[in-house]
Structure 1
Amino acid sequence: MDYLATAVERALERAKCSAAELDLIVSLSWSPDHLVADTRIMGPRIGHPLQKKIGASNAFVFDLMDASLAKALYVVNQFAISQAVQRILVVRADIGQGLNSDPQSGFAIPDGAFALLLEPDAQQQFSSIDIGAGFQPLRVDLNTQIFSAADAKGTLCFPHQSELDEAICHAVEALNKPFGFALDNVLHECWLSHETGRPHCLGPFDLAFQLEMCMEFKCEPILATSFDPFNLRVEGVTLAIAGGSYDGC
């Protein structure tokens, strides 16, 4: 919560927006514990504790849990348009101590937190594409023998698949064809390999990291794509970057 609250404060300060002005808070997380004081509670529900901590008394709160970020942004945008919502805070926070990494590949969800402040966009577009058959999706095998707070709640199962990273890249290219965005304006998450300037695979935090970089120099629309490891799909959503003078994202 401390890391997430800091990210939220930075986002609100940058946008010159107070917590009381927020209309909606949407949270994503896979962490099965460490979000509430009682470790017997397994569901990741960080939205309401965050609302209380920052004093966002006017905000409606809900969780999307394991949705990809691109899909989450699209769902949130459609909801905001239908409900005349203006100021939306999308957050993610994960601490992986409650989940064991894959014993064969070592795959794990990185720890981190991000906060994105958005306004609805009536022109937003969304698309989703399957990466192809033959790959095993990520699954979480739950631990049925939990006796203490220190026990892991489950184990990530996502074995090494040599051609999966390349298949994801091909899917990103195929998804972008109908949109026709220049390569510089297509952002995609890195889950299985890192790119220049990013020493680690940031997974579900990678897109937010790239958006932070874009805020300084991009004003034109972009295509933000994210990977859903549970459904083996690449999903993309168009965004308009507000830049230094915040009008929405």
Structure 2
Amino acid sequence: MKLLFKKAFVLLMTHYAHMLEYRAEIFLWALSGCLPLILMGVWIEASQSGDFALDSLQFARYFFAVFLVRQLTTVWVIWDFEREVVEGHLSFRLLQPIDPVWHHVARHISEKFTRLPMILLFILLFFWLYPKAIWIPNVINLFYFAVAVILAFSVRFIVQYTFSMFSFWTERANAIEQFWFLFYIFLSGMIAPLDVFPPLVREILFWTPFPYFVYFPAALLTDLPVNFIEGSLIIIGWGVIFFFVNRWLWRRGLKHYSGMGA
């Protein structure tokens, strides 16, 4: 077990050092995730002239929480894996005594740590522009939020990594992710909180994985009414489904793989 933790630490530190070389690029990635802060202004303005389930202060806090969730759950594994398969670099990964997925996991986690100072900067800027939105979540909500973010990131990673398995059969596997992303944008709560959706639509959505990628953790942080236990079980269930599909596609894909050196 000690050796396992040592290997994991070395892998994380290696990718973290690599990420530090691209801090300017990571800053641009973080900046590109500011769409929720733009939408916040739109919904705050709309709430002042319409009848919505949330008031302007709740909209401000919600979209701020969405911004945090988006920064902490960004996933791009499909583009890296697709390039490895197409260019034959996966062959070298397969020669190593660990599953190639752990390189991608370490890369994503280390990128989150590199992004933290930038997230802190955006937090300070937000509260400077919207001082009325300052609030201190209670410890329980913070714990629920942390767990929900970890689950959201884990399942998003598994889903996208599952889609990346199609790289064994096509050079444009990322097109699947782009199609999935359309549903993610509109159904996850990133464009609008699910509280403004019709009740029937909201009930149906809660059985899909999309709300748990954004809305669920954001609602927990801002104390909107959601069931933590039920939501966690549903997202874990989707994660398990995609995990088994992923392993099945991985075994089939390796037999089909014909990259350089394979």
Query: TM over 0.5: same fold?
Result: no
Task: Name the structure, 1 or 2, with higher relative contact order (CA <8 Å, separation 6+).
Answer: 2
Structure having the higher strand fraction is 1
TM-score under structure 2 normalisation?
A: 0.28
Structure of greater Rg: 2
**Higher relative helix content:** 2
